[in-house]
Structure 1
Amino acid sequence: MVHRLTREQARRIALDGQLLTSERPSGIVETIDALTILPIDPTSAIAPSVDLILWSRLGWPYSPADLVRLFEEDRAVFEWGGFYRAMTDLPLLLPEMRRRPESVRAREWLAANDSFRREALARLRAEGPLHPSDIPDTAQVSWRSSGWTDNRNSQQLMEMLALCGDVAVSSRDAAGRLYDVADRVYPADVPQLSDEDAARERGERRLASLGIARAKGLAQPIEPIGAGELGEEAVVEGLDGVWRVDPEALEHVDAFPPRTALLSPLDRAVFDRRRLEELFGYEYILEMYKPAAKRRWGYFALPILHGDRFVGKLDAKADRKAGVLRVFAVHEDEPFDDTTRSAVEDEIRDLARWLELAPVGVGFG
């Protein structure tokens, strides 16, 4: 059976999977569990992406300090592969951890540095948690690359061992990540799943978070964005090809309570730019790497969602020294009507209030 969806239905399925309706989730762990991953990025033009993503779902009750507590103390959240995840997903990652490192070069480097690896694990066991800079570099063979990892052997070792599941990120501070042996971060009584069962459940959860996706998406090293053969086939009115849709999402496809939201550019709701343009007719590019003169929307412009459409971009910056959220521009893809403008301005005020800043600039005096 192939489901036939209107573009509007497909958009609503996608947004519902991402918790972008007026029916907000009740807590941080519930939100991360539903989204499956929360991308970690240091850019903080307005707020770090992890915080923007959680605020956009939870609203004013969300406090970054609560996420830190859940990660560092309660161990209800863990970090792996550049994402925060609910600890209940750890069993789904263990089979992949056992397969890593995947590249021949990385495996050969670890084998050549076996004594370095054992010494680092022993130091963590005795003294951890530690920054990579606290671990003496006793590598027999140095890591070579054309990037920032060149000759950073302790950093490279910790990242590899974290992906392998031998160590884990225990906490973060101003100097970066602190690592510890995995059994002091991860729970001991973790269910053991086969590679096939773990991959299937992980894929099903990913599709549920996306709602609808192509079988193949943009290649990603850690977290694919395609659905493979999971879910059920669907065609979307006006779009070529076949999609995969989460069958549970079809049960309430026409029950969509809308809201207005400001999203991080790294939000998974907008991460797949091709899908974003196909389903929503929305063009977006993160312009922080462009020269200022070539930017159309701004350094870290936030996509603006209104109902089931993305309608513009917010160019703003948090100036904490001055105590203000500077609104440089609200780019309207199409001219806003009064209702849309009022809803967007209210959301900007809510963002400023959550940041404990006063909104100033375009539309705010």
Structure 2
Amino acid sequence: MTHRLTLEQARRIIVRAQLLDAERAGDVVEVAEQLGYVKIDPTATIAPCEHTVLWSRIGWSYEAGQLVKAVEMDRLLFEFDGTFRPMSVLPLMLPAMRRWPRRESSRQWLDANDGFRADVVARLRAEGPLLAGQIPDTAQVSRPPDGWSGTNQVPHMLDFLMRQGVVAVAGRQGRHRVWDLAERVYPRDLPELDDEEAGRLLDERRLQAAGIAKQKSPWTPVGEAGEPATIEGMRTKWRVDPEAVAALNEDDGGRVALLNPYDGMLFDRPRLRDIFEFEYVLEQFKPKPQRRYGFFAHPILMGDRFVGMLDAEVDKAREVLRVNAVHEFLPFEPEEDDMVRSEIAELGEWLGVTVLDAR
């Protein structure tokens, strides 16, 4: 069966799949289970990505301590490759982790540093959990600095061992990761899956989070998950989550959401362009004269439309959220302006600061 969807229906499916409809999510774990991951990024003109992503789904009741508890105490989430993920996806990832790395240069570096690898594992076994800075660098062969990391080889080795499922992030001290052996962080009773089943289930989880995705998308690879779909006015083949289609008849309404630039809703740029008619460009790395909306402007979603960009920043010294600009793609109606102002006010209240409109 091929589902034939209107553009509005496709948008509603995506918004609901991303937990950005009128019904707020209940807690951190619910958000992670549905989205598949929560991106971690320290850029905090307003708040770090992981916290704004969760606030935009849960609302005023979200507190940073809830995320820490879910990761470090309850072990319902785990940190991997710059994201927090639900523990339920770990069994789906393990088959690929055991085959890692595939790149020849990475295999050669690991082989050349077999003694270094053993040193890191032994140190964690004896003394862990540890910060990377507490582990000696005994590398036999070094990787050159890449602009993101220095000459110390310990972070490289820890990253490689994490991808192999040997070590894991046990928690954080501030923004610094604390490492331990994976066997002391991950549950022991995880189900064993073969490559084919794990890949199929990962595709299904990605489609669950996306709602709808191009059948051959490098941005949101979903394979043959879900069911085929078409969208009016497009020749592209899509895959859609049948449960999301069934929920279209429910009156979910809409709301305003302020999205962190690294929010997963924004990741699939071609889909944003095709379905939402939104050409999103992150201006963080552009020279200031070339920026149109601001260094780290947050897209504004209203219902199922992107209506503008919020250029704002927290001034910690003055305890204010300074609103530099609200860029309207089309002039707001009075009711729309009130809705956006209300959401900004709620953001300030959640941050515990006063909103200062500098426009």
- Tell me the TM-score normalized by structure 2: 0.97
Please give the per-residue CA displacement for 1:261-308, whole angstroms capped at 9, x wherever unaligned: 111111111111111111111122111111111111111111111111
Runs of 4+ in structure 1 off by over 4 angstroms are: none
RMSD between superposed Cα atoms in Å: 1.3
Give the match for residue 88 of structure 1.
88
Q: C-alpha separation between the residues in 1 aligned to 2:291 and 2:146?
A: 28
Please give the per-residue CA displacement for 1:185-212, whole angstroms capped at 9, x wherever unaligned: 1111111111111111111011011001
Letter in 1 for 2:275: L
Give the match for residue 57 of structure 2.
57
1:348 matched to 2:341? The reply is no
Closer/same/farther in 2, CA of residues 266 and 175 from structure 1, 3 Å limit = closer
5+ residue gaps, structure 1 = 220-224
What secondary structure does 2:208 align onto?
Answer: helix
Answer whether contact 1:97 1:163 (CA < 8 A) is retained. yes
Give the match for residue 284 of structure 2.
288
Q: C-alpha separation between the residues in 1 aligned to 2:10 and 2:51?
A: 27
Give the match for residue 234 of structure 2.
239
Q: Counterparts in 2 of 1:1-365, with a 5 A limit?
A: 1-144=1-144, 146-149=146-149, 151-174=151-174, 176-218=176-218, 225-255=220-250, 256-362=252-358
Shift of 1:133: 1.9
Q: C-alpha separation between the residues in 2 aligned to 1:51 and 1:175?
A: 13
Q: C-alpha separation between the residues in 2 aligned to 1:150 and 1:103?
A: 22
What secondary structure does 1:253 align onto?
Answer: helix
Q: C-alpha separation between the residues in 1 aligned to 2:42 and 2:69?
A: 19
Shift of 1:227: 2.0
Q: C-alpha separation between the residues in 2 aligned to 1:148 and 1:347?
A: 35
Answer whether contact 1:92 1:193 (CA < 8 A) is retained. yes
What secondary structure does 2:309 align onto?
Answer: strand
Q: C-alpha separation between the residues in 1 aligned to 2:318 and 2:351?
A: 13
Letter in 2 for 1:62: Y
5+ residue gaps, structure 2 = none
Q: C-alpha separation between the residues in 2 aligned to 1:271 and 1:215?
A: 16
Shift of 1:175: 5.7
Answer whether contact 1:17 1:210 (CA < 8 A) is retained. yes
Q: Which moved more, 1:203-212 or 1:276-285?
A: 276-285
Q: C-alpha separation between the residues in 1 aligned to 2:228 and 2:334?
A: 39
Letter in 2 for 1:266: Y
Paired residues, number: 358
Letter in 1 for 2:157: L
Q: C-alpha separation between the residues in 2 aligned to 1:303 and 1:216?
A: 26
Q: C-alpha separation between the residues in 2 aligned to 1:246 and 1:156?
A: 38
Letter in 1 for 2:230: V
